[in-house]
Structure 1
Amino acid sequence: MGLLNKFTEWREKRYKEHFSKMKEENKCPDCFGKGFIIYPANVYAFHADHFHCPGCKGSGLFNDWSPLE
């Protein structure tokens, strides 16, 4: 169980670093400031559908971001 705990701690640390970096740059942590998300199933499609980011509602800004519950 020690390995699983280490992995969980690593993921939490990595997310906190990502969150603080995005907050510093005023970018949405979910879409990296792009304002849209490309879902993996559509990455290789020629006419890939882009969906507005549900976290920032398409603005790409950290100030508009609200975590999904």
Structure 2
Amino acid sequence: MGLFSSIKQWQENRKQKYIADMQAKGVCPDCRGRGFDLYYPVEYYNTSPSIECQGCNGSGLFSDWASQIK
């Protein structure tokens, strides 16, 4: 169990570092400040749709993302 717990801890530390980096930049961690997601998980979609980011409601700001989390 030591190996699995250390992997889980490593993943959590990596996630927290990523969120801290995005907070320092002031951008949403989900869309990286774009306000939309380029990837839409529908098979055989012919155009590249822009879907509003669910994390920040399309603003791209970290403050809006943080208010959604709480």
What TM-score, normalized to structure 1?
Answer: 0.81
Cα distance in 2 for partners of 1:29, 1:8 equals: 20
The reply to whether residue 23 of structure 1 matches residue 26 of structure 2 is no
Tell me the number of residue pairs that the alignment of Structure 1 and Structure 2 aligns: 68
Cα distance in 2 for partners of 1:56, 1:63 equals: 8
The residue aligned with 2:9 is: 9
Work out the percentage of aligned pairs sharing the same amino acid: 39
1:39 aligned counterpart, secondary structure: coil
Query: Alpha-carbon deviation of 1:41?
Result: 3.0
Output aligned runs, 1:1-69, within 5 Å. Answer: 1-39=1-39, 41=41, 45-65=45-65, 66-67=68-69
Cα distance in 1 for partners of 2:21, 2:46 equals: 32
1:4-47 CA distance string (max 9 Å, x none): 111110110001100100000000011111111133535x8541
Structure 1 alignment gaps of length 5 or more: none
> What's the Cα RMSD here?
2.1
Cα distance in 2 for partners of 1:31, 1:46 equals: 22
